[in-house]
Amino acid sequence: MSFIRSLLLADTHLGFDYPLRPRVEKQRRGEDFFANFQRVLDYAAQTRPHFVVHTGDLFFRSKIPAPVTDRVYHMLLDFTRHDIPLFIVPGNHERSQLPPSLFLQHPQLHIFDRPRSFFLTVRNTAVALGGFPCVRNGIRDRFRQLLQESGLTKTDAPVKLLCLHQTVEGATVGPADYVFRNGTDVIPRTAIPAELTAVLAGHIHRRQMLDTPSGVPVFYPGSIERTAFAEKDETKGFYELHFSVDNGPARISKRKFWRLPTRPMVELDLRRCTSIEALKKELKKNIPGLPIDSIIRLALNPSLLPNISAGRLREIFPATFNVQLRRPGRVYNR
C-alpha cells in the first residue's frame, strides 16, 4: 500500500509562563512547553514524515518578547535543515498573524497568512493543503467564502487537507464535557465538503476526532501541554496520520496519537482549615505524597485569603512545585 505520512500538532503556546526578568524566583512552566515542542520536532527529524502541520497558537500571545520569538524561530530554522515541509496556521493567540521575521521566508516553512493553498508532490501524488488564519469573530458566516478563497476545493489533487484554527461543531472541552453545537464562532459540520480528505484543526485543547455528515474526519491533536486546570486529566501529544492513495479517493489509513510528558496537576481542597497553623499542618501532611514536579491548586477558606502570600507558600512547598491559589472567579499563579 502506498501512503503519505504526516505529523499534526497544535497549541504549543510557546512563551507561556516564561518571563525574561521574573520578579519572583519560583518553579516556572515555560520550559515544559519548549521541551515538548522540541520532542515533536525531534520525532519528525528521526522518522521523516512527508510533512508536518501546526494548526495554530504557536505562541502564547501576540506581543512576544524578541528573545522568545527568536528562540522559537531558531527552533523552526534548525528544523528546516531536515528538508521536511512545515505548515503553520496563525491562531487566535497570535491575533491571526505570526511575528514578522525573515526566518519565515525559508522555502520549507509555509504560513497560512491569508486564505491560500500549498501544493506538494509526494510519491507521485499531488497533495494540497489549504487554510487561512484564525477568524476570531463570525467564522460560521464566513467559512464557505474563506474556503473558496483558499482555492482548496478547486484543485484536483487526490489529497486535500483543510488546515484550521477554529471550533468545529461537536468539539468537546473541559471537565464537564461541554460540547460546541452552534454559535457565530462555530463551523457547522454540515459545512465540511465531501471532496476534502480531512480537516486538521487547532484551538480545542483536548485531543479528539470528529465525524461529519460528508464522512470527512476532523482531527484535533490538542495542546502539547496543560495550560489550565480544566485540562488536568487530559493526555497531551500529537497525531501521526497516514493517507492512503492507492484505490479511489484518498483516505486516512492509519492514525496514532503519540503521548508527550506532562507535569501532574493536583487540586487540594483545604477550605476546612480555618487558621494558618491548621493549614500548615494539613499541607505538611499532604505534600510528601505528591509528585515532586506537581502543579498544585489550593482551595482555601476565604477567611485565610487576606493572610496568604506567595512568600508563605514558598516556605511550605518544595521549590520544585508550581503553586496556585484558587479564588472565586480568579486563579493566581504563585
Per-residue pLDDT of the chain (334 residues; tens, 9 = 90+): 578 999 999 999 999 988 777 666 667 889 999 999 999 999 999 999 999 999 999 999 988 899 999 999 999 999 999 999 999 999 999 999 999 999 999 999 999 999 999 999 999 999 999 999 999 999 999 999 999 999 999 999 999 999 999 999 999 999 999 999 989 999 999 999 999 999 999 999 999 999 999 999 999 999 999 999 999 999 999 999 999 987 667 899 999 999 999 999 999 999 999 998 899 899 989 999 999 889 999 999 999 888 877 667 767 888 888 888 886 554 434 3
State the sign of the Cα–Cα–Cα–Cα dihedral 77, 79, 81, 85.
Answer: negative
Beta carbons of 132 and 115 less than 8 angstroms apart? yes
> Quick one: cell of 64?
512576544
Supply angle C-alpha 167, 173, 176, rounded to 5.
145
Note the pTM of the prediction, 2 decimals: 0.93
Site of grid cell 484554527: 165
> Structural domains in the chain?
3-259 (3.60.21.10), 265-333 (no CATH)
